[in-house]
Amino acid sequence: MESMRKSALLLPVFLFSAIAAMGQPQESSIQATRAAHPSNDQAKPAPTPEARKRRNIPEVEDAMSKGQELLFKKHDPRASVEEFKRAVKLDPWYGQAYMLLGLARMQLGEWNDAQWAFEEAAKVEPGNAKAYLGAGSALNEQKNYAAAQKALEHSLELRPDSAEAHYELARSLWGSGKWQAAEPHVRQAIDLNKDYAGPHALMGNIYLQQENPEAALSEFEECLRLDPESSMAPAVKDMIAQLKKALGK
């Protein structure tokens, strides 16, 4: 059982589960430490005006329309990045453009660039809980758990009923070795969204830390039932097989 407790730490996470809901157009400053941005030519830094209304700029709307078609219909995040970059250059106060740029960067695995985009969105729209969620998720992928925790706690202050933010905060705490503190957030994520597979995998890991393999097995099986085609499904299947063998099932 000790070997399984250690191997649980190696289970891959769901890379996009927390920010999937950001994809469609939607309606105080980020405390997370900002890494040096490697591609600042992609857009001028967004200022923080006092309650500025976004202008209806035809070129911006064209870039947004093309970017969303590329990202959601053609599933080409790389090409969509160029359109969203064009949008924020033309209108650096357009929060949703930064949000979609961040989502595209996440799909490409460009975590630092995604973090930058979400942080810019939060500057323009300080009340946007999903901007802090996106930044926290990107920071988690960079294993900057302390900064991720701050961003995600702020996201939950703005929107306490976000299953995604609870799960990402649990990931931050887990990554920091604070699995006891992670547990209530995992449970809250499951309570808020019964069909959310990721929290069940993390809850399975927590049960392994508590030396409760029966409960861990149940969580991993539920994770697989909810999302049998996910990228982490092979690792979950392997964990289920290990647990069944250890339990004599």
pLDDT single digits (tens) 102-149? 999 999 999 999 999 999 999 999 999 999 999 999 999 999 999 999
pLDDT single digits (tens) 190-242? 999 999 999 999 999 999 999 999 999 999 999 999 999 988 899 999 999 99
d(CA 74, CA 67): 10
d(CA 132, CA 143): 16
pLDDT single digits (tens) 169-193? 999 999 999 999 999 999 999 999 9
181 lies in which domain range? 2-247
d(CA 191, CA 168): 15
d(CA 138, CA 213): 31
Residue 5 is predicted with a pLDDT of 55
CATH code for the domain in which residue 19 is found = 1.25.40.10
Assess contact for 106 and 137: CB atoms under 8 A.
Answer: yes
Residue 4 is predicted with a pLDDT of 55
Mean pLDDT, the chain, rounded, equals: 83
Whether 47 shows a pLDDT value over 80: the answer reads no
Q: Tokens for 201, please give them.
A: 């995998």
Q: Number of structural domains, the chain?
A: 1
Confidence band, pLDDT 50/70/90 cuts, at residue 57: confident
Residue 53 is predicted with a pLDDT of 52
Percent of the chain with pLDDT over 90: 75
Residue 158 is predicted with a pLDDT of 97
Confidence band, pLDDT 50/70/90 cuts, at residue 14: very low
Assess contact for 196 and 163: CB atoms under 8 A.
Answer: yes
